[in-house]
Structure 1
Amino acid sequence: MESCIVIDDVEKIFTTQEGLVVRALDKINLEVKENDFICVVGPSGCGKSTLLRIIAGLESTSKGNILYRGVEMNKPIKEVGMVFQNYSLLPWRTVLDNIALGLEFRGISKKERENKARHYLNIIGMNEFENAYPYELSGGMQQRVAIARALANDPDILLMDEPFGALDAYTRIILQKELLKIWESNKKTILFVTHSVDEAVYLSDRIVVMSSKPGKIKDIIEIDMSRPRDRANPEYAIMTARLLDMLEDENMANNLGK
């Protein structure tokens, strides 16, 4: 299958206000294929979110390139959408108007953008909330709206940075199932950053495991389990334990290096 995103030898170096040079990412290479669902896991500070922001065109590389269908990316494009952990909904806009925001920026007519927004409201099961405001919604509902807003722009690639991290366990599981339904029905390509090993095993086709200081790809693990996945399946438990061991080894190495 053809690659839609190619990450080629990407490095990212920051300089702090005190003049300290920090290498956040070092020689990251990854090919993302059409309709891939890839989760990225790793210790805190390993550069997972930075990598996602670079792919989104929100930050530049210090070295290396991000290619989208063979063309270098250095700014945000409509073909790549992003969902953040903090929802980023505008409090003065209704649910419908929040979902239609990107379409409005693109100059789409009011009727067309509202029709498209209602289509995605239906997909996330929130038709009756189109006139509600964000403060009237639960955290899980706000995150659904944020996902619908990203989908309304019809991106090929959906980047998700810890989108369920602030939710309670039950809501998180519900939205994991909803996301898989959306992914399967819309044929999107998803890169999903998470701290949860269980979430990565439940959702993804491949898991990118990162090490830190500087952030590198430690391993890429194929998840060869049919969906929907059963958390009680011994194979599921074995994979979760394997990933936890890898992350524990990485944390121990980091602590010894301090």
Structure 2
Amino acid sequence: MKKVILITGGSSGIGKAIGEFLSEKGFVVYGTSRNASAISNSKIKLVDLDVRNSDSIKSCIAKIIELEGRIDVLINNAGVGITGPLEEIPLEEIKNNFETNVFGPIETMKAILPQMRTQKSGLIINITSIAGYMGLPFRSVYSSSKGALELITESLRMETKSFGVHITNVAPGDFATDIASRRFHAPVIKGSAYEKVYQTQLDMMNEHVSGGSNPIEMAVAIHQIIETKNPKIHYKVGAFMQKFSIVLKRILPDKMYEKILMNHYKL
């Protein structure tokens, strides 16, 4: 029996790469988009889903279960980026980021777990970020939203283990996608105390994304996890130094690690 896979945010970027790769491997793959009918060139089936809307989440999952009778793998990939000095990011944008990056995955997992319990099997893969392991300058909201999802996964794994459900995190580094164009950038305010340093950081962040790894690396990693009998709690996918930065944070004194980050970001 072919496994049925649901990928939130499957119409572009990493989600699209994962969906197309898994489809080629013979899985039944559904991706999501807030307006699926507007996308005509998708190589996988797309269904409507807005992770900020509970009714939309429930409707999407019910539709796939009606069509396929089961959902074996949920990949919580939908997410948005956000940058800016914390002092200057509008509160409504902070709330929107958490609605998408944290509350959306929570609601999606809550909606799909009853089906996985009935099946006595299932795998949930939460796409987080290497940025979620550390507080990065001008990415405080993004780092904290992804870090929150990492910890939620750790807790939920233990709560659901007896049901035959596996839950894991996959934290990517910088990948060459269009996330920079879809990220909310707090505007660089002329005369602001952060004006020059924030503009420099924006330029650096966009360079990192455009020069990032090929998203196919994430697709390969996800496929390997799906084929693993007992997945680990955490996976990191990306350039060596990005992954090694997590190790350094674990072993170095806090102030020394902070100094390394500030030197890296030229602060």
Q: Tell me which interval the TM-score lies in, with the shorter structure as reference length.
A: 0.3 to 0.5
Q: Which has more helix, going by share of residues?
A: 2
Structure-2-length-normalised TM-score: 0.33
TM-score, normalising length from structure 1? 0.34
Larger strand fraction of residues: 1
